[in-house]
Amino acid sequence: MGAYTMITESNRCKPRVVVVGLASCFGCQLQITNDEPHLTELLDQIDLEYWQLVSSDDMPELYDVAIVEGSVTTRQNEELLKRVREKAAHVMAIGSCAVTGGVTGMASDNLDERIDHVYGASLPKSCGEAIAPRPVSDVIAVDSVVRCCPIDSRDFVTQLQRVLFGSNRGQSQRTLCADCKRNETECFYNQGKLCMGLVTRSGCGARCVNLGRECMGCAGLSEAANLKAARLACSAYGIPVEAFDATLRVFNQVELDVHSAQADACEGQEARR
Ligand code: SF4
Ligand code: SF4
Ligand code: SF4
């Protein structure tokens, strides 16, 4: 995997871009189309070689940037991603499904039972060989991400332009509350309502809170998240910890599974000492 070659005066050919969809509702791909003025500007800067949502043409053999929406739910998805990684200089994961496993990640718990419930005894062949849903970064290295469910169209354009023209801007690791406080909206906890901003990664500008809705955590867990303290805060405001844990799993099931597997492994090591 190499860094993408920036466009210069002596290297003016347009980067070839493909958009690939895995297990998803296609909502993030739709969001790409929702910012027409910026999209047309962007289309001028790239050669869009493949977009599953708008064309049934086959994927080309050569491309520079691969944009991937959706989570990995089959062995076939895994193989496709590995082929994509071999060819693309830059892989960008877009949307919660691709970045954290998202809502599809909830099926990683009791997968067989869930498949039975929906499909009965046998999964149709056309579904492929099902595996527990995982984010793209669980299978291949990912170079950049656009978070949330769905993605924000403007964020997508900004992020892709950073990839094309270069940027050393890092992504925030703060929790959403840090952004939300600056907006001077009243905290939902004062109204006895659960809000996942306590543990969610900032970056969306507290989009939902600004619209009067509690954060559901679609940007994924912040590296600064303190789950223990957040549970204590819920209790202090009369919100059941079970409600916090259930909502936390809507977008973060896969990451929480990884955390608990790591915690189990650490406990096992401690016990053996
Ligand atoms: S992140 Fe949300 S909008 Fe995007 S594909 Fe997944 S479910 Fe759909
Ligand atoms: S908990 Fe929610 S409403 Fe309260 S400050 Fe954090 S993001 Fe804002
Ligand atoms: S406020 Fe929360 S749920 Fe809404 S877009 Fe931001 S991270 Fe996602």
- Delimit the domains of the chain by residue range: 16-165, 176-264
From the alpha carbon of 215, which atom of ligand 3 is closest?
2
Helices marked H in 13-74 — which ranges? Answer: 27-32, 36-43
Residue 121 CA, ligand 1 centroid: distance in Å: 28
> 17 in helix, strand or coil?
strand
Q: Does domain 16-165 have CATH number 3.40.50.700?
A: yes
Residue 199 CA, ligand 3 centroid: distance in Å: 11
Q: What is the pLDDT of residue 266?
A: 57
From the alpha carbon of 207, which atom of ligand 3 is closest?
1
Residue 155 CA, ligand 2 centroid: distance in Å: 22
What is the number of the ligand closest to the CA of 27? 1
Would you state the structure tokens that stand for residue 207, as one six-digit string?
A: 């989009």
What is the number of the ligand closest to the CA of 183? 2
> Which residues line the pocket of ligand 3, CB cutoff 6 A?
148, 176, 200, 204, 206-209, 215-219
pTM of the model: 0.88
Q: What is the pLDDT of residue 123?
A: 85
Q: What is the pLDDT of residue 260?
A: 64
Q: What is the pLDDT of residue 37?
A: 80
- Rounded average pLDDT per 10-residue block, the chain, 273 residues: 49 84 94 84 89 88 96 97 97 97 90 88 87 96 96 92 83 88 93 96 95 97 94 96 95 80 60 58
**Could you tell me if 244 and 199 are in contact, meaning their C-beta atoms sit under 8 angstroms apart?**
no
Q: Whose CA is nearest to atom 3 of ligand 2?
A: 187
In the chain, the largest separation of any two C-alpha atoms, in whole Å, equals 63
Tell whether ligand 1 has an atom less than 6 A from the beta carbon of residue 176: no
Q: What is the pLDDT of residue 268?
A: 59
Q: Is 253 exposed, middle or buried (0-12, 13-18, 19+ CB in 10 A)?
A: buried
Residue 212 CA, ligand 3 centroid: distance in Å: 12
**Could you tell me if 15 and 165 are in contact, meaning their C-beta atoms sit under 8 angstroms apart?**
no
Q: What is the pLDDT of residue 9?
A: 46
Tell whether ligand 1 has an atom less than 6 A from the beta carbon of residue 205: no
Which of 156, 171, 174, 176 most suits a substitution to test ligand 3, by most atoms within 8 Å of the C-beta? 176
Residue 130 CA, ligand 1 centroid: distance in Å: 19
CA atoms within 13 A on the CB side of 114: 12
Q: What is the pLDDT of residue 97?
A: 97
What is the number of the ligand closest to the CA of 219? 3
